[in-house]
């Protein structure tokens, strides 16, 4: 358990009992049973036509198609807060190595994974990561969370030494995601009408962290949740599907839209800090994961932090601020408190219009 102010953020070690539950999901223990939450909101069915946005990096870079593709990027960030990025240009060998090492790590016996288990009052490591003190319910998932950037912030004791190539693979992948973030912010700046350097600088040199998730198959997917519905609290999130198993759902207008992974694509989503930086132009969307009945699902999720000279606030080029400025350290504390309460800290920073 981690105390943030007067609230408690709960995290737990994966136990032998939990591992056995994942292996045989015939009976769902009470700590995982969350049928009411699964039914919260209508899931759009396959009989209804819809398409979550897809942005093509090759078209963003092409002089003839760039303007139109930037418009698609902007529309995706405004209307959905999510898009799939194709032809992203990330080194294919680096991506494949990260996928392979992720599967090898989650495939290890529990005792070997527990070599990097989360510690008391800690944040990094392998285990359950669940955020609401008001609920002792667990997500149907195993997770490994690590800080990847900057180098001096890394806790190598939590970086798996098994598989032996894991650390090198993650180091290379981390650099690729930082570079991709820089490329994306150039086009976001163009869409927003701000100087490229202004938006890029909010991300450059800031903290980067990663969450590896494995969602075991479940015979009763209507009773469990892979990850609790939430908004990402940082700047930009870049998700790599290790396999083609679906499960991610994005909420829009009160309805859940399943995202079907495109081969070779990354999933990008706006975090709460980017919503603030853009003065509310880009929207951070609520999302969740439901497990599959037959297949496991693994993902590698990079979180890119952002701020303006240590302050979380809207970029001044975007007009009168609609969010209060706050020190980044205080923002992080407030965001943890809100997670514990099941609320959104970004809402408390909104400047109300009294006119």
Residue 136 has pLDDT above 80, yes or no: no
Residue 8 has pLDDT above 60, yes or no: no
Encoded tokens for 176: 């690729």
- CA dist 248 and 256 (Å) reads 9
Using 50, 70 and 90 to split pLDDT, how confident is the model at 2?
very low
Q: What is the pLDDT of residue 355?
A: 52
Query: How much of the chain, in percent, has pLDDT values that exceed 70?
Result: 91
The mean per-residue pLDDT over the stretch 195-216 comes to 96
Residue 109 has pLDDT above 60, yes or no: yes
Between 186 and 121, name the one with better pLDDT.
186
Longest dimension (CA), the chain: 61
Q: What is the pLDDT of residue 340?
A: 78
Q: What is the pLDDT of residue 120?
A: 79
Q: What is the pLDDT of residue 133?
A: 47
Confirm whether 331 is domain-assigned. yes
pTM above 0.85, yes or no: yes
Confirm whether 343 is domain-assigned. yes
Residue 313 has pLDDT above 70, yes or no: yes
Between 314 and 134, name the one with better pLDDT.
314
Confirm whether 1 is domain-assigned. no
Residue 129 has pLDDT above 90, yes or no: no
Confirm whether 3 is domain-assigned. no
Between 120 and 32, name the one with better pLDDT.
32
Which tens digits make up the pLDDT trace of 243-280?
999 999 999 999 999 999 999 999 999 999 999 999 99
Between 1 and 221, name the one with better pLDDT.
221
Confirm whether 84 is domain-assigned. yes
Q: What is the pLDDT of residue 38?
A: 93
**Chain mean pLDDT for the chain:** 91
Which tens digits make up the pLDDT trace of 63-84?
999 999 999 999 999 999 999 9
Residue 1 has, within 13 A of its CA and on its CB side, a CA count of 11
Q: What is the pLDDT of residue 108?
A: 97
Confirm whether 5 is domain-assigned. no
Confirm whether 355 is domain-assigned. no
Encoded tokens for 311: 């302050």
Confirm whether 316 is domain-assigned. yes
CATH of the domain at 172: 2.60.120.330
* Helix, strand, coil tally for the chain in percent (to 5): 35, 25, 45
Q: What are phi and psi of 126, to 5 degrees?
A: -95, 135
Residue 208 has pLDDT above 70, yes or no: yes
Q: What is the pLDDT of residue 35?
A: 93
Q: What is the pLDDT of residue 48?
A: 83
For 340, the domain range is: 16-349
- Provide the domain count of the chain: 1
Using 50, 70 and 90 to split pLDDT, how confident is the model at 352?
confident
Q: Which helix (H) or strand (E) holds 106?
A: helix 92-106
Q: What is the pLDDT of residue 26?
A: 77
Residue holding tokens 């032998």? Answer: 16
Residue 5 has pLDDT above 50, yes or no: no
């Amino acid at each position: 358990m981690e105390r943030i102010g007067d609230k408690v953020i709960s995290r737990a070690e994966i136990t032998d009992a939990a591992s056995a539950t994942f292996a045989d999901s015939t009976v769902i223990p009470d700590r995982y049973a969350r049928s009411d939450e699964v039914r919260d909101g209508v899931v759009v069915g396959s009989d209804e036509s819809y398409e979550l946005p897809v942005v093509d990096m090759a078209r963003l870079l092409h002089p003839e198609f760039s303007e139109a593709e930037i418009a698609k990027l902007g529309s995706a960030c405004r209307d959905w807060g999510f898009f799939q990025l194709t032809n992203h240009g990330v080194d294919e060998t680096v991506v494949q190595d990260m996928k392979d090492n992720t599967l090898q790590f989650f495939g290890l016996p529990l005792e070997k994974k527990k070599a990097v288990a989360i510690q008391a009052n800690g944040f990094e490591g392998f285990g359950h990561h669940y955020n609401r003190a008001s609920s002792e319910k667990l997500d149907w998932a195993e997770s490994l969370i690590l800080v990847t950037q900057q180098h001096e912030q890394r806790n190598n004791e939590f970086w798996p030494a098994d598989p032996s190539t894991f650390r090198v693979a993650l180091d290379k992948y981390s650099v690729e995601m930082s570079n991709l973030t820089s490329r994306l912010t150039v086009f976001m700046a163009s869409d927003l009408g701000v100087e490229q350097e202004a938006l890029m600088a909010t991300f450059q040199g800031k903290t980067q962290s990663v969450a590896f998730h494995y969602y075991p198959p479940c015979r009763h997917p209507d009773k469990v949740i892979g990850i609790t519905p939430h908004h990402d609290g940082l700047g930009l999130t870049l998700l790599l599907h290790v396999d083609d198993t679906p499960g991610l759902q994005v909420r829009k207008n009160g309805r859940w839209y399943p995202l079907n992974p495109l081969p070779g694509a990354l999933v990008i989503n706006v975090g709460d800090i980017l919503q603030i930086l853009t003065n509310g132009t880009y929207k951070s969307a609520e999302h969740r994961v439901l497990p599959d009945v037959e297949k496991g699902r693994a993902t590698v999720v990079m979180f890119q932090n952002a701020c303006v000279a240590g302050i979380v606030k809207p970029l001044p080029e975007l007009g009168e601020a609609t969010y209060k400025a706050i020190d980044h350290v205080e923002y992080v504390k407030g965001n943890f408190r809100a997670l514990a309460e099941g609320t959104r800290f970004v809402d408390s920073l909104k400047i109300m219009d009294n006119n």
